[in-house]
Structure 1
Amino acid sequence: MADEAAIEETMLRLVSERGADKTCCPSEIARALGGPHPDGWSPLMQPVRRVAVRLTKAGRVQILRKGKPVEDPDDFRGIYRLSLPRA
C-alpha cells in the first residue's frame, strides 16, 4: 500500500499538472498509486482523503464540494474534488 509521502507527491503532481481552475478526482490519485482494479485503489481512498485534509490546512491544495472550497476540511461529506489553491 502507498504511504502518505507517495500519496502527497502524487496529489501535488496531479493538481499541478491540471493547473489553475481545473480539478482532480481523489480516485484518480488512488488509481495512479493502486492501479486500475478496485481492490488496488479502493483501500487508498481514506488515506487520500487524510492527505488532502492535511494539505488543505497547509494551503497547498483545496478541497472543493459542488465547485466551492469546503469551509472546514475536517468536516465535509460526500463527493469532493481537489485543485490548486485559488490565489
Structure 2
Amino acid sequence: MREVSEEAIAETLMALAERRGRDKSFCPSEVARALYDQAHWREHMDEVRRVAADLTRRNRLEMLARGKRLSPDVAHRGPIRLRLC
C-alpha cells in the first residue's frame, strides 16, 4: 500500500471540487477511492475527512450533511458531502 501525503489529498479534494463546481457536492470517499487501492480506501477515510476539515477552516471547501453546513471543528458521524466555497 502506497503512502499518500496530506498535500496530495488536498490537491485531489480541490481538483474534484473544481470539476464539480459550486453547485454540486461530492462524497469524500470519491477521493479515498481515487488515491488508495480498492481493498484499503476505507482505512483512509478519517485522513481524507481531516484534510477536508482543514480546507473547510481555510474557506476552500464546505462540509455538508443533508444540505446544511457543518463546522469543521466538530467530529461528524455519518455521511458528509463536500463542495467548493
TM over 0.5: yes
Can you give the 5+ residue segments of structure 1 that lack an aligned partner in the other structure? none
Q: Please list, as runs of the form range in 1=range in 2, the aligned pairs for 1:41-80 lying within 5 A after superposition.
A: 41-70=41-70, 72-75=71-74, 76-80=76-80
Letter in 2 for 1:73: P
Q: Please list, as runs of the form range in 1=range in 2, the aligned pairs for 1:1-87 lying within 5 A after superposition.
A: 1-35=3-37, 37=38, 39-70=39-70, 72-75=71-74, 76-85=76-85
CA contact (8 A) 1:27 1:45 kept: yes
CA contact (8 A) 1:2 1:44 kept: no
How far the C-alpha of 1:40 sits from its partner, in A, is: 2.7
Total equivalences in the alignment: 82
Cα deviation, 1:7-42, whole Å, max 9, x if unaligned, reads 00000000110011101111000011013x1x2311
**Distance in 1 between residues matched to 2:66 and 2:45, nearest whole Å:** 19
Can you give the 5+ residue segments of structure 2 that lack an aligned partner in the other structure? none
Q: CA RMSD of the aligned region, Å? A: 1.0
**Distance in 1 between residues matched to 2:54 and 2:11, nearest whole Å:** 13
Cα deviation, 1:25-75, whole Å, max 9, x if unaligned, reads 11000011013x1x23112201101001100000000000101111x2121
Letter in 2 for 1:77: R
Q: TM-score, normalised by structure 2?
A: 0.89
Aligned sequence identity (%):
46
Q: TM-score, normalised by structure 1?
A: 0.88
